Amino acid sequence: MLPVVVVHGGAGQIPKERSEMSTAGVCRAARAAYSILQGGGSSMDAVVEAVSLLENDPSFNAGCGSVLNVKGEVEMDAIVMDGKMLRSGAVSAVRNIANPVQLARLVMDKTSHACLTAEGANQFASAMGVPSVPQESLITEYSQMRWKKNLTPDADPVECQMGKMGTVGAVAVDGEGNISCATSTGGMLNKMEGRVGDTPCIGSGGYADNNIGAVSTTGHGEAIMKVTLARLILFHMEQGQSVEAASDLGLAYMRSRVHGLGGVVTVDPRGHWAVRFSSRQMSWAAAQKDTLHYGLYTGEHYTQSINAH
């Protein structure tokens, strides 16, 4: 059953003309991460690679393609977590960085801290030799169009958010049984400057524990935080629930208690995996035993050989 990697490209309602691009993007990310795992790479290497590819893909709300804040600027959040020692690293409200997930990993590996924010995160990036990229390189025409649309007085950014891909993320278990997660986002459409959502918040945007499993979340960030969704699902797994049942229990509770929609990818130490969402769609892909699995709508589950292209 090992190794395995599961990738998501965000929960929401994806316009038809963008759905092929997002499916192609998550499949590419899952293949690349699986190839790392097959080569003996760690689950951390695999999830960071998968999320970096999604950050580089303008179809997703992370890195290039991030939604814009109310001022029309890009501020990004990301987290990684290593299930062996429960080490984690995160950045919040960081600017001018092509791959926030890689910076989050540097926070984990090179500092005694778990999260750096805003200007402090950028100073750290600079000290680590991570290049500063022009903001324009992260902004797409599509994100600018949506930003302008949501500046009108009757706009509903939360509703509109569901019209595009959300946060991206990945979970993986490597051949040694080490479990990792990574999540990255441009956040919420037309958010206030300095808004930090669920993504960099440990237990909300993601959590990994070699003894239990790992979860990466996407959806309405403030609702995810209210129920600490990733940790909640893992608590259900600690109580003996399967990856599917635990994920469904967590999402159902979020819906009933705080009226929030979202999606998750979940793995356990034996390599069982689940993709569950309460939103209309979530682009996802998984790779295990030389098979690529992927889908977009509820119940959709395609497979193909990992070597077919």
Distance in angstroms (rounded) separating the CA atoms of residues 255 and 156: 19
Q: Pick the closer one to its own copies by CB: 4 or 47.
A: 47
* Per-residue x/- track, 27-66, its own copies (CB under 8 A): ----------------------------------------
Among the listed residues 7, 64, 80, 93, the single contact to its own copies using CB under 8 A: 93
Given 24, 118, 128, 245, the residue binding its own copies (CB under 8 A) = 118
| By the rule CB under 8 A, 244 interacts with its own copies | no
Residue 92 makes contact with its own copies by CB under 8 A: yes
**φ/ψ bin of 76: left (φ > 0), alpha (ψ from -120 to 50), beta (otherwise):** beta
Alpha carbon distances (Å) from 82 to 3, 46, 144, 150, 228: 16, 12, 35, 37, 18
Cα separation of 280 and 4, whole Å? Answer: 25
**Location of structure tokens 């049984």:** 177
Give least dist CB 295 to its own copies, A: 30
Task: Note whether 132 binds its own copies by CB under 8 A.
Answer: no
Name residues whose C-beta falls within 8 Å of residue 16's C-beta, 6 or more positions apart in sequence: none
According to the annotation, is 195 in a ligand binding site?
A: yes
> What residues contact 301, with CB distance under 8 A and at least 6 apart?
293, 294, 295
Closest CB to its own copies among 23 and 161?
Answer: 161
Contacts of 296 (CB under 8 A, 6+ apart): 14, 19, 22, 23, 281, 282, 283, 284
Q: What are the backbone angles phi and psi of residue 147, rounded to the nearest 5°?
A: -60, -50
In whole angstroms, how close is the CB of 240 to its own copies at the nearest point?
Answer: 12
In this structure, are residues 217 and 229 in contact, taking their beta carbons and an 8 Å threshold? yes
Q: How far is the CB of 29 from its own copies (least distance, A)?
A: 27
Is-catalytic flag, 298?
A: no
Of 6-14, 33-41, 119-127, 276-284: span binding its own copies (CB under 8 A): 119-127
Of 201 and 285, nearer to its own copies (C-beta) is 201
- Give the residue with the Cβ less far from its own copies, 99 or 204: 204
List 302's β-bridge partners, or say none: 294
Taking CB under 8 A as the rule, does residue 114 contact its own copies? Answer: yes
Can you read off the two tokens belonging to residue 34?
């699986």
- Interacting residue with its own copies among 18, 21, 32, 87 (CB under 8 A): 87
Alpha-carbon distance of 97 to 196, in angstroms, equals: 16
Q: What are the b/e assignments for 219-240, b being 16+ CB within 10 Å?
A: bbbebbbbbbbbbbbbbbbeee
The gap from C-alpha 106 to its chain's centroid, in whole angstroms, comes to 17
Contact with its own copies (CB under 8 A): which of 16, 17, 39, 112? 112
- Which tokens go with 244? 């599917």
Euclidean distance between CA atoms 249 and 79, whole angstroms? 24
Q: How far is the CB of 60 from its own copies (least distance, A)?
A: 22
Nearer to its own copies, 228 or 281 (CB): 228
Interacting residues with its own copies between 174 and 193 (CB under 8 A): 188, 191-193
196 annotated among ligand-binding-site residues = yes
Q: Which of residues 284-303 bind its own copies (CB under 8 A)?
A: none
Instruction: Report the interface residues with its own copies, using CB under 8 A.
Output: 85-88, 90, 92-93, 111-121, 123-124, 158, 188, 191-197, 201-204, 207, 221-222, 225-228, 231-232, 235, 257-258
Active site residues: 167
- Residues marked as binding? 195-198, 218-221
